[in-house]
Structure 1
Amino acid sequence: MPTELPASPLLASLQDKIAQRKARVGIYGLGYVGLPLALRFAEVGVPVTGFDIDAAKIQQLNAGGSYIERLTPDRIQQAHAQGFEATTDFARTAEVDALIICVPTPLNAHREPDLSFIVNTIEAALPHMRPGQLVSLESTTWPGTTDEVLAPRLRARGLEPGENCALVFSPEREDPGNPDYGTKDIPKVIGGHTPRCLALGTALYQHAIQTLVPVSSTRAAEMTKLLENIHRSVNIGLVNEMKIVADKMGINIHEVIDAAATKPFGFVPYRPGPGLGGHCIPIDPFYLTWKAREYGVNTRFIELAGEINHHMPHWVVGKVADALNDRGKAIKGSRILVLGLAYKKNIDDTRESPAVEIMDLLQAKGAHIDYSDPHVPVFPRKRDYHFDLKSVVLNADTLTGYDCLILATDHDGFDYALLQNARLIVDTRGRLAPASNVVAA
């Protein structure tokens, strides 16, 4: 753990405030990453102000409500009692001592990095910043973003990282729905623009996170996050490709994975599915492929995995078409119910969910689409997709009205015994036992 104390009076004062838990933390972006972190700082007695441009979110939070299923209203209200408040007013940046940026980093239409959320956030905060503050970027991005995008903007304001302000990168590692690892339990990587920056960043985060993992630079921390997500993307791409091969050969890929997983060394089981979801794995690898081109490197392995994973919703739709055709029906005019809108089971997070793309592909082919998800009662707002739908309640009468069900996300809350009574169900998760009305996809 870095122990170097800041040399300048401003940074020494910030160090003292952090040590005494008097430094007010500003969390910029109150989504699936920012809000849990804000609540965690509040829990340990660190004053927190949450910033977001979505006025509806701010209103709900300040009324003691929550828009994230696993973060109960009780936790929001407890955080308020411990000094948490939320605002859309970026002028209040002047009140905070540490700015932690937790905003999305999507891809644009050309699958290139879109840093507009990061840039807009820092540009909105800069007019109100002052010497003696710390800036931490948590949004996943390409190596060099902290040094090349944030640092110059701070300098233009007269803020020099390591001298009169601090700048770090500490990538988020949230895993929604994981009962074993919450915000405080997941080791946190952190890199500083300078050693002084790193010392201040670790001093701040150690209040809220049990284990910190300092690295030599912000670029090393940025690359660490990309490696974690690319590792998963590549391995999921491999097992998805194996699923397609096994399907053609009439082999149950889930049986094969279970058997391979009995090997006590050298094998890690990954599970296939209908495609990649969540804000990280479908997107982050392309941040590195884009940056690598600047260095004359073609990341073929990463891009191949992305191509395979991107194709999976199309493959599922093909399986649906074949299954309906075998029963004398076409996709066009069929009533199809998608089970599970979230990108993985037992959560309400629908970001980049393959279920949504499957719905869009089927609707484009003329199907009548509905969905059922106990965690997502109303289809959420999205930039690229819109369905004016509410979650269908599952019962025996409901099932008789659909020509096909697609198990896209295997929530534990579904009644799988009931689902076995459907006319046809296409299982993308390997959850259902083989039957005449069950088609593996």
Structure 2
Amino acid sequence: MSVDLAIVGLGYVGLPLAQQAARSGLSVLGFDVNQNVVDGLNSGASHIDDLSGADIAEMLASGFRATTAEADLATASTVVICVPTPLSADGGPDLGPVRSATATIARNLQPGMLVVLESTTYPGTTDEIVRPMLEAGGLEVGKDIHLAFSPERVDPGNPVYGIKNTPKVVGGSTPDCTERAAAFYGRFVDTVVTAVGTREAETAKLLENTYRHINIALVNEMARFCHELGIDLWDVIKLAKTKPFGFQAFYPGPGVGGHCIPIDPNYLSHNVRARLGYPFRFVELAQEINATMPAYVAHRAQNILNADGLATKGASVLLLGVTYKPDIADQRESPAVDLAKSLLELGAEVSFHDPHVARWHAEGQTMDRVESLDDAVANADLVMLVQHHKAYDVDALATSAKRFFDTRGVTTAPQAHRL
């Protein structure tokens, strides 16, 4: 039986895509090499924050199924690659998963099929790596099959923007490929924006996240000197954002996390160095600033303890919130890990609380999770708000703590220290 869409990679990108396509009436097949993921989905269990068991049940009722059988891909009109692209040792993207997914598709490629890469990568990947692998079997892109790149824009935990109402950028290897891909996404996405080609679509995703990376670095650096100068940066940002044009608010924090901001700009920087032989200085400076924030925050914590005559060595430090963004369980690239590492190196006794995380590992060890939040806050030498989950009454926690360090600028309690 043929299907409208097969998705290779059923994680934070692929599964929401499958959900929206299925909701819009498309027949959807999910492919993943992880048998546990496939078995879980087919039994109605979700493994990502954005989709619940009820969401998976709805998808199954609409005909969705997951498989590890690659031959099933041959039944699809469109195949979308949604596999991860982690950083490699040299700072560029590890394209191993993309190559593996493409090879799997190539073995099952059929005339007329549309293949779309959604995995974030450096400019040129679609046409220089994916295309030759697909054409090796004799089918020509733009004539026998179609190929395009469409950057994923999933924002885990966002209650307003999802697959359907976030504009979809599409760039094909040929104009016909672009047209075919745009028509496909137009079946379940409200707005489709076409690019000149695959490289422009690939670079657009990198520009989006590089823009955020650089502006976060700007306010992180300002946080350092504003603290030294006795300036309330949070008030500065509040004032600046009253301007209705020409300014967008970004906020400092203990570092950057997630699957995009700490990683994607490096793809572009690595590509510029490798191809052109010179640095992308904005990105490299931003990376330097953002990467050192956890150590800076740990140093600030040390100063707070020292001001009250307490050594960091042996001090009990409680971290509140260890995920990379609020109100989700996703811990990918969370700065809390590096923060804990810096505190442990200073000799602190670190524990954590997070309503979304039952077990947390940092510096090669399982960290102690406190069960009673109120008792732990009252007893800790220093409480640090690392992630602002809605479940936390921050002002109440700051009032009951011996010392409270707010790295997110949300407290109004006068005794709290803020980044």
Q: Normalising TM by the smaller chain, what interval?
A: over 0.9
Q: 8 Å contact 1:345–1:409 — kept in the other structure?
A: yes
Tell me which moved more, 366-375 or 146-155: 366-375
Instruction: Select the structure with the greater relative contact order (CA < 8 A; seq sep ≥ 6).
Output: 1
How far off its partner does 1:158 sit? Answer: 1.8
Correspondences of 1:197-276 after superposition (within 5 Å):
197-276=177-256
What is the CA distance between 1:289 and its match in structure 2?
1.1
Which residue, 318, 323, 330 being the options, matches 1:342?
323
Alpha-carbon separation, structure 2, partners of 1:127 and 1:311 = 45
SS where residue 292 of structure 2 aligns? helix
Pair 1:379–1:62, CA change in 2 (3 A): farther
Distance in 1 separating the partners of 2:45 and 2:364 = 25
User: What SS does the corresponding residue of 1:24 show, helix, strand or coil?
Assistant: strand
Structure 2 residue 414 is the aligned partner of structure 1 residue 435: yes
Relative distance call for 1:435 and 1:52 in structure 2 (3 A) is same
CA contact (8 A) 1:376 1:391 kept: no
Q: 1:390 to 1:200 in 2, by over 3 A?
A: farther
Please say if 1:415 is aligned against 2:403. no
**Separation of aligned partners in 2, 1:435 and 1:56:** 49
- How much does 1:254 deviate? 0.3
Q: How many angstroms apart in 2 are the aligned matches of 1:255 and 1:117? A: 45
Q: Give yes or no for contact 2:114–2:147 (8 Å, CA) kept in 1.
A: yes
Are 2:313 and 1:332 equivalent residues in the alignment? yes
Per the normalisation by structure 1, the TM-score is 0.90
Q: Counterpart of 1:194?
A: 174
Q: Deviations over 1:79-129 (max 9, x none)?
A: 000011112232322222211111111212332221112112222332222
The answer for unaligned runs of 5 or more in structure 1 is: 1-16
Aligned match of 1:403: 381
Q: Mark the CA change 1:240 to 1:122 in structure 2 (over 3 Å): closer, same or farther.
A: same
Counterpart residue identity of residue 91, structure 1: A
**For 1:37, which of 13, 17, 24 is the aligned residue?**
17
Offset of residue 434 of structure 1:
4.4
Q: CA deviation at 1:433?
A: 1.9
Counterparts of 1:83 and 1:379, CA distance in 2: 36
Q: Answer yes or no: is the 8 Å Cα contact 1:100–1:137 preserved in 2.
A: yes
Distance 1:49 1:232 in 2: 34
Who is 1:58 aligned against? 38
> CA–CA distance in 2 between the matches of 1:88 and 1:125?
13
| Counterparts of 2:240 and 2:371, CA distance in 1 | 38
Distance 1:87 1:330 in 2: 55
CA-CA distance at 1:385 after TM superposition: 5.6
Deviations 1:356-397 (A, max 9, x none): 2212222333333222111223337xxx96442475344322
CA apart distance, 1:341: 1.5
- Matched residue type, 2:98: I
Flag the 1:199–1:375 CA change in 2: closer, same or farther, 3 A. Answer: same
Structure 1's 360 and 159: CA in aligned 2 closer, same or farther, altered over 3 A? farther
Within the alignment, does 1:377 sit opposite 2:358 as a pair?
Answer: yes
Contact 2:395 2:413 in 1 (8 A): no
In structure 2, C-alpha distance between the alignment counterparts of 1:166 and 1:386, rounded to whole Å: 45
Identify which range, 47-56 or 166-175, moves more after superposition: 47-56
> Is contact 2:320-2:384 (8 Å) kept?
yes
How many residue pairs are counted as aligned between the two chains? 417
Q: Could you tell me which residue of structure 2 aligns to residue 368 of structure 1? A: 349
Partner of 2:405: 426
AA partner of residue 407 (structure 2): T
Amino acid across the alignment from 1:355:
A
Partner of 2:301: 320
Correspondence for 2:115 = 135
Task: Tell me by how many angstroms 1:410 deviates.
Answer: 0.7
1:60·1:66 contact (CA, 8 Å) conserved in 2? yes
Q: Does 1:120 align with 2:100?
A: yes
For 2:193 and 2:381, locate their aligned partners in 1 and report how far apart those are by CA, in whole Å: 52
CA distance in 1, matches of 2:408, 2:379: 23
- CA distance in 2: counterparts of 1:218 and 1:168, whole angstroms: 6
Compute the TM-score of the two structures, normalised by the length of structure 2: 0.94
1:280 and 2:296 aligned = no
Note the aligned Cα RMSD (angstroms): 1.9
The aligned counterpart of 1:4 is: none
Give me the whole-angstrom Cα distance separating, in 2, the residues matched to 1:107 and 1:221: 20
- In structure 2, the partner of 1:392 is 370
CA contact (8 A) 1:395 1:418 kept: no
State the partner residue of 2:155.
175
Identity %: 44
How much has 1:191 moved relative to structure 2?
Answer: 0.2
Residue 166 of structure 1 is matched in structure 2 by 146
Judged with a 3 Å threshold, the aligned counterparts in structure 2 of structure 1 residues 364 and 129 are, in CA distance, closer, same or farther, namely farther
